[in-house]
């Protein structure tokens, strides 16, 4: 027991590892912020494309479906390696020359696929009569989508969307597998230097601290909505 | 809308041989209907007789399979019609109000004039204020729909349609979802519109209202107009057996 406590919770090692792990953790924060911003926008675009009506849009819809199926089904760690491979082999003359950029691309590809489904569920949850009412007033398809369907859809999916973002924040740690010196990599460096795993505990604490506010915020939104819906039912 | 632009046969709205099919089920089997400018036409008939589908076809929310629809000299059927433009002149109000729940009453009423007619926000608000005064809900302008009663929501839905300055209004069983004590306020508003000369086609189960406000009543049965005529004739001396049976059932249900 004492050995276990010393290995993971030694106060001296804990404090000593903090600056080093914090150095790496800044990568995790940057990965998360960039990927989340990209995912928010791209997933909405893919969800809209998947909902386009008519025969002319069929190839676009099909492409969106293939994309979400592929990237929702492939493990993130595989996608990370593939992007790295793509980048190092300079396929099509495209190379990011940066592990960080590769990481952002991998996270964005996978999480856009998840979040697309979240948006899509939200769009489909808006009753067709809403779109019909908007169209009956002479609004175009795009205007109805923008002013009537999407505002309602997005409001409804904020909790599941934040939930996916909590997943994304943690998954930034996976970028360590291609050698980006983020928090987990730094913790491992510390372990090999000092034969102590307290650095991993530090990294875990950082991740927990980062996700808790988002988790509480999600709870808060859900509770507020329940309150409002109960008020309506009266 | 001027009388000069009316349809060749002199009617403001003219339907000929309108057919509509949903998969295997033909809901409208060739509807002919004429409505004169400023007239109110009431469509009566059992649920499923095709009243709602007919109104939706006139607003192009449903594409007709066969036949022609002409409104104010404009052919709505066929290719190369700008549905968004045509719909702006034809207002429709639904049984379930369908107000936009994330917008205030004011935003509900001004959305389409600003977006579709490109009215300035200021002009749209002025017009909306006038309309809210007409429906008696000026003080509710900044409320959200879920804070209003069903009758109030339906009046807002009517104002929202009127904000586009339509030349034709289609009312699709607009009192069917309302509590009995709220029906009156909505029907009063429709009476006012009729009094001002708004051309309207109204699908309704309110027989006494139809009798009072309609210039012409059409009885729909199984996707055809089985009988049409002035209200006193339809309600007092229907010619068709099916009309008589329908009215008898309505009478027994205490709805007349």
CB pairs under 8 A between A and B: 61
pLDDT band for position B4 (50/70/90)? very low
Measured between CB atoms, which of A129, A143, A232 is closest to B96? A129
Please list every residue in chain B whose beta carbon sits closer than 8 Å to the beta carbon of residue A138.
84-85, 87-88, 112, 116-117, 164
* Predicted pLDDT at A13: 85
Q: Order of strands, edge to edge, in the sheet holding B13-22?
A: B25-35, B13-22, B66-71, B74-75
Give me the pLDDT at residue B73, please: 87
User: How many contiguous H segments (helices) and E segments (strands) does chain B have?
Assistant: 9, 10
Q: Is the pLDDT of residue B125 over 70?
A: yes
On average, the pLDDT of chain B sits at: 91
Q: Do B102 and A151 touch (CB under 8 A)?
A: yes
What pLDDT is stored for residue A85 in this prediction? 85
Average pLDDT over residues A5-23: 86
Question: So what's the pLDDT on residue B3?
Answer: 40
3-state helix, strand, coil in chain A (%, to 5): 85, 0, 15
Q: Determine whether the interchain pair B115/A139 forms a contact, defined as Cβ–Cβ distance below 8 Å.
A: yes
Q: Give the Cα separation of B37 and B57 in Å (integer).
A: 19
> Is residue B66 pLDDT above 50, yes or no?
yes
Mean pLDDT of A33-37: 96
Residue B112 is inside which H or E element, if any? helix B105-115
* Residues forming a β-bridge with B83: none
Whether B113 shows a pLDDT value over 90: the answer reads: yes
The pLDDT of residue B233 is above 90: yes
What are the distances in angstroms from CA B150 to CA A209, A231, B154?
47, 16, 6
Q: A108-112, B91-95, B99-103, B252-256: which has the minimum mean pLDDT? A: B252-256
Report helix, strand or coil for B255. coil
pLDDT, tens digit, 9 for 90 and up, residues A152-162 = 999 999 999 99
Q: Measured between CB atoms, does B111 come within 8 Å of chain A? A: yes
Task: Select the residue from B59, B81, B97, B102 to test the A interface by mutation, using most A Cβ atoms within 10 A.
Answer: B102
> Poorest-confidence range of A103-112, B6-15, B41-50, B61-70?
B6-15
The CA dihedral of B122, B127, B131, B134, to the nearest 10 degrees, is: 110
Mean pLDDT of the residues in chain A = 90
CA A197/CA A194 separation, integer angstroms: 8
What pLDDT, on a 0 to 100 scale, did the predictor assign at position A90?
A: 72
CB contact under 8 A, B111 and A139: yes
What CATH number is given to the structural domain containing A33? 1.10.3720.10
Q: What is the pLDDT of residues B6-49, one digit of tens each?
A: 455 678 999 999 999 998 889 999 999 999 999 999 999 998 89
Task: Tell me which residue in B102, B112, B146 faces A138 most closely, judged by beta carbons.
Answer: B112
Query: What average pLDDT does this structure show over A111-129?
Result: 96
Cβ(A119)–Cβ(A47) under 8 Å? yes
Residue that has been written with the tokens 């200021």 in this structure: B122
Over residues A78-102, the mean pLDDT reads 82
Q: How distant is the alpha carbon of residue A107 from its chain centre?
A: 7
- The percent of residues above 70 in pLDDT, for chain A, comes to 96
Distance CA A160, CA A115 (A): 9
Q: What is the pLDDT of residue A118?
A: 96
Interface probe, candidates A138, A152, A153, A155, chain B, greatest B C-beta count within 10 A? A138
Give the dihedral of Cα atoms A128, A131, A132, A134; nearest 10 deg.
Answer: 160
Percent helix, percent strand, percent coil in chain B, to nearest 5: 40, 25, 35
Beta bridge partners of B13: B35, B71
Q: Tokens 């924060």: give the residue.
A: A29
pLDDT at B252 (0 to 100): 87
pLDDT at B8: 54
- Nearest-CA distance from A143 to chain B in Å? 7
Mutate to test the interface with A, among B82, B93, B112 (most CBs of A within 10 A): B112
Helix (H/G/I), strand (E/B), else coil: A70: helix
Min Cα distance B179 → chain A (Å) is 16
What is the pLDDT, as a whole number, of residue A88? 79
**CA B71 – CA B162 distance, rounded (Å):** 17
Partner A, chain B 70-99, Cβ-Cβ below 8 Å: 84-85, 87-88, 91-92, 94, 96, 98-99
- List all residues of chain B from 170 to 229 with a beta carbon under 8 Å from chain A: none
Residues A25/A100, Cβ–Cβ less than 8 Å: no
Over 60: is that where the pLDDT of B5 sits? no
* Tokens 């399979």, located at residue: B65
pLDDT recorded at residue A93: 66
Spell out which residues of chain A touch residue B109, defining contact as CB-CB under 8 Å: none
Name every chain B residue with its beta carbon within 8 A of the beta carbon of A157.
none
Cα–Cα distance for residue pair A37/A142, rounded to 1 Å: 23
pLDDT tier at A227, thresholds 50, 70, 90: confident
Residue A87 · residue A79 · CB < 8 Å:
no
Q: Which helix (H) or strand (E) holds B228?
A: strand B224-229
CA proximity to B76, closest of B7, B9, B21, B23: B7
Lowest mean pLDDT among A90-94, A222-226, B190-194, B208-212: A90-94
- Domains of chain B, CATH where assigned: 3-252 (3.40.50.300)
Name the residue with tokens 């293939």: A66
Q: Tell me the chain A residues in contact with residue B128 when contact means C-beta distances shorter than 8 Å.
A: none
Q: Is the ipTM of this complex over 0.95?
A: no
Q: What is the C-alpha to C-alpha distance for residues B122 and A39, in angstroms, rounded to an integer?
A: 37
Judged by CB atoms closer than 8 Å, whether chains meet at B101 and A132 is answered as no
pLDDT of res. B254: 72
A16 or A45, which is more confident?
A45
Element (H, E) at B200: strand B199-203
pLDDT per residue as tens digits for the range A83-94: 888 887 776 666
B117 touches chain A (CB under 8 A): yes
Q: Taking residues A188-195, what's their average pLDDT?
A: 88
Give the rounded percent of residues in chain B with a pLDDT score beyond 90: 77
For residue A113, pLDDT beyond 50: yes
Please report, rounded to a whole number, the percentage of residues in chain B having pLDDT higher than 70: 96
What is the C-alpha separation between A219 and A141, in angstroms, rounded? 34
For residue B2, is pLDDT > 90? no
- Beta-bridge partners for B93: B171
pLDDT at B45: 93
Which domain range does residue A19 map to? 2-233
User: Measured between CB atoms, does B24 come within 8 Å of chain A?
Assistant: no
Worst-scoring range by mean pLDDT, A209-218, B133-142, B233-242?
A209-218
Among candidate residues B241, B197, B183, B227, the one with its CA nearest the CA of residue B44: B227
Q: Residue B80: what pLDDT?
A: 77
Report whether pLDDT(B99) > 70.
Answer: yes
pLDDT band at A98 (very low <50, low <70, confident <90, very high): confident
> Distance from B189 to chain A by nearest Cα, in Å?
20
Q: How many domains does chain A have?
A: 1
């Amino acid at each position: 027991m004492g050995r276990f406590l010393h290995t993971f919770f030694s106060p001296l090692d804990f404090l000593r590892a903090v600056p080093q792990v914090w150095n790496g953790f800044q990568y995790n924060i940057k990965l998360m912020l960039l990927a989340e911003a990209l995912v928010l926008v791209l997933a909405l675009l893919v969800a809209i494309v998947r909902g386009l009506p008519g025969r002319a849009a069929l190839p676009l819809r099909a492409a969106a479906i293939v994309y979400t199926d592929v990237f929702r089904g492939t493990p993130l760690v595989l996608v990370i390696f593939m992007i790295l491979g793509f980048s190092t082999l300079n396929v099509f003359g495209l190379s990011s020359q940066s592990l960080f950029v590769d990481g952002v691309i991998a996270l964005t590809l996978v999480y856009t696929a998840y979040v697309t489904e979240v948006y899509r569920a939200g769009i489909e949850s808006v009753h067709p009569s809403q779109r019909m009412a908007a169209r009956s007033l002479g609004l175009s398809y795009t205007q109805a989508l923008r002013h009537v369907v999407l505002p309602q859809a997005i409001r409804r999916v904020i909790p599941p969307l934040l939930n996916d973002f909590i997943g994304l924040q943690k998954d930034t740690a996976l970028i360590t597998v291609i050698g980006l010196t983020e928090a987990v990599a730094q913790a491992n460096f510390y372990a090999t230097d000092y034969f102590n795993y307290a650095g991993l505990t530090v990294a875990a604490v950082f991740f927990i601290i980062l996700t808790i506010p988002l988790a509480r915020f999600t709870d808060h939104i859900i509770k507020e909505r329940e309150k409002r819906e109960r008020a309506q039912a009266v | 809308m001027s009388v000069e632009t009316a349809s060749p046969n002199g009617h403001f709205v003219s339907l000929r041989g309108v057919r509509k099919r949903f998969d295997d089920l033909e809901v409208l089997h060739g509807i002919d209907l004429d409505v004169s400018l400023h007239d109110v036409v009431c469509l009566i008939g059992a649920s499923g007789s095709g009243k709602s589908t007919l109104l939706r076809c006139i607003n192009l929310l449903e594409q007709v399979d066969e036949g022609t629809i002409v409104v104010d000299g404009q052919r709505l059927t066929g290719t190369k019609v700008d549905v968004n433009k045509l719909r702006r002149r034809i207002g429709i109000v639904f049984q379930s109000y369908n107000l936009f729940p994330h917008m205030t009453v004011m935003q509900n009423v001004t959305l389409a004039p600003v977006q579709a007619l490109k009215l300035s926000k200021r002009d749209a608000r002025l017009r909306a204020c006038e309309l809210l005064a007409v429906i008696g809900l000026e003080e509710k302008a900044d409320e959200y729909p879920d804070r209003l009663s069903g009758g109030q929501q339906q009046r807002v839905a009517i104002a929202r349609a009127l904000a586009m300055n339509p030349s034709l209004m289609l009312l699709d069983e607009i009192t069917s979802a309302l509590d009995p004590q709220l029906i009156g306020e909505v029907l009063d508003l429709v009476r006012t519109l009729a009094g001002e000369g708004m051309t309207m086609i109204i699908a309704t189960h309110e027989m006494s209202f139809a009798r009072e406000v309609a210039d012409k009543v059409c009885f729909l049965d199984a996707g055809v107009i089985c009988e049409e005529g002035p209200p006193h004739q339809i309600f007092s001396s229907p010619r068709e057996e099916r009309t008589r049976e329908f009215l008898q059932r309505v009478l027994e249900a205490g709805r007349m």
